[in-house]
Amino acid sequence: MIEKKVCRLILEDGEEYVGKSFGSTRDAVVELVFNTSMVGYQEILSDPSYTDQAVVMTYPLIGNYGINDEDYETEVPSISGFVVRDYNDEPSNFRSTMTLDEVMRKYDIVGISDVDTRRIARHIRQYGSCKALITVGDMSLAQAVDMLTEYEPPKDAVARVSTKKIYNYGSKDAAYHVVAIDCGMKKNILRMLRDKDCYVTVVPWNTSAEDILELKPDGVFISNGPGDPTDVAETIATVKELIGQCPIFGICLGHQIISLAYGASTYKLKFGHRGGNHPVKNLFTDKIEITSQNHSYAVDAASVENTELEITHLNLLDNTVEGVRCTKDKVSSVQYHPESAPGPQDSAYLFDGFLAMMKEVKEVLENA
């Protein structure tokens, strides 16, 4: 059993919650957000989109099935912390190889348990995502609030989590060659592309359009990732140059980057979308998908009207933009996660749409 210390969660508005520590016991200044998923804490822990954030898990029991070696979404998790109601350190799962506490200690991720997570989530819903401090120290409440007020979140999250070198994934004999721009890409995206008969070349976030085109891709994919999309000006510029050169598909941050490249604008949501139960409507089929989501920013619907993009999907909870496309340029993107991990898996068909675009262009070139 782990030794739990008294731990405090202090919000920038002075709200304070006292619980018990697990994982790393360092002080951590974070952006506090919440996730409503009932399963998948390992995938959430290892999703690079949570860089510099601490996630409040609204499902009360966390840690009960441990951590296994196969379900990581990145090699080195970059999340800052977990806030949970009831942490279980004795997992019951034949796949488990480590406890959540052991993994969090390994990667220096802080945790606080035995706090009212539903109250914290309601607070975030009412007042918005906020800066917070997780600490086992004796800093006074006034000192903590002053520190949080002065704290400026870093702007280099994508640069920190993106691959530092080009690498390949899948079989060279695959039907399609995809260049994936890694802005903090989840592993399951690579698995999905591989399973769709794609050979993937993964490149860093700031790779130029010229270097990407030299790789002769059948299509380009722009991944999910952390932070404000306007912080990655280099990626936006690259996508601008790639438009019309080959089919492009983007997910989450990739969706925002594509929209910005076309001249639309983005804004920060009050408390973001994080969970596995968001209903999204496909405006061209009238079908409803239950989707997996994790993002703080959204594309402004009014700004899309002045571009060559058209809106393809809407969130039925708040009517925010969930997908766009430009048929002429063979470009499409969605705000949510069709690769799931954790689920649901209603939206996996979107990868088939990307393949269809690549197939069409490839056939035209072969018959030219």
Pick 157 or 363 by higher pLDDT: 157
347, 336 Cβ separation under 8 angstroms: yes
Architecture of the CATH domain 157-367:
3-Layer(aba) Sandwich (3.40)
- pTM for this model (two decimals): 0.97
CB neighbours of residue 122 within 10 Å:
13
pLDDT of 112 higher than 80: yes
Inform me whether the pLDDT recorded for 1 exceeds 70: no
Identify the pLDDT of residue 364: 87
Residues 186-199 have pLDDT tens digits of 999 999 999 999 99
Query: Mean pLDDT in the chain?
Result: 97
Could you tell me which of 30, 2, 5 has the C-alpha nearest to residue 112?
5
What mean pLDDT is predicted for residues 274-295? 96
> 199 vs 90, 180, 361, CA distance in Å?
40, 10, 17
Task: Judge whether 337 counts as a catalytic residue.
Answer: yes
The strand ranges marked E within the chain are 6-11, 16-23, 28-35, 53-57, 61-62, 81-83, 86-87, 110-113, 130-135, 167-169, 176-182, 198-204, 219-222, 248-251, 266-282, 288-299, 310-315, 321-326, 331-334
Give one DSSP letter per residue of 2-40, joined into a string.
Answer: --PPEEEEEETTS-EEEEEEEEB-S-EEEEEEEE--SS-
pLDDT at residue 177, rounded to an integer? 98
Residue of 7, 246, 252, 326 marked catalytic:
252
Q: What is the pLDDT of residues 19-52, one digit of tens each?
A: 999 999 999 999 999 999 999 999 999 999 999 9
Residue 302 confidence class, pLDDT cut points 50, 70, 90: very high
| pLDDT (average), residues 268-280 | 97
Say which of 43, 73, 322, 339 is annotated catalytic: 339
Angstrom distances, CA of residue 60 to CA of 41, 56, 57, 105, 327 = 12, 10, 7, 21, 44
Is pLDDT at 2 greater than 80 in this prediction?
no
User: Which pLDDT score is estimated for 366?
Assistant: 82
339 is catalytic: yes
Q: Among residues of the chain, what percentage have pLDDT more than 90?
A: 95
Average pLDDT over residues 124-134: 98
* Domain segments of the chain as ranges: 6-150, 157-367
Burial class (CB in 10 A: 0-12, 13-18, 19+), 173: exposed
Catalytic residue (choose from 177, 278, 295, 337): 337
Nearest C-alpha neighbor of 67 from the set 85, 43, 47: 43
pLDDT of amino acid 4: 84
Fold of 6-150: Glucose Oxidase; domain 1 (3.50.30)
Residue 331 has pLDDT above 90, yes or no: yes
Structure confidence by residue, pLDDT tens digits, 333-365: 999 999 998 888 999 999 999 999 999 999 988
Angle of CA points 37, 43, 45, to nearest 5°: 90
Establish whether 252 is a catalytic residue: yes
Distance in angstroms (rounded) separating the CA atoms of residues 258 and 176: 21
pLDDT (tens digit per residue) in 71-106: 999 999 999 999 999 999 999 999 999 999 999 999
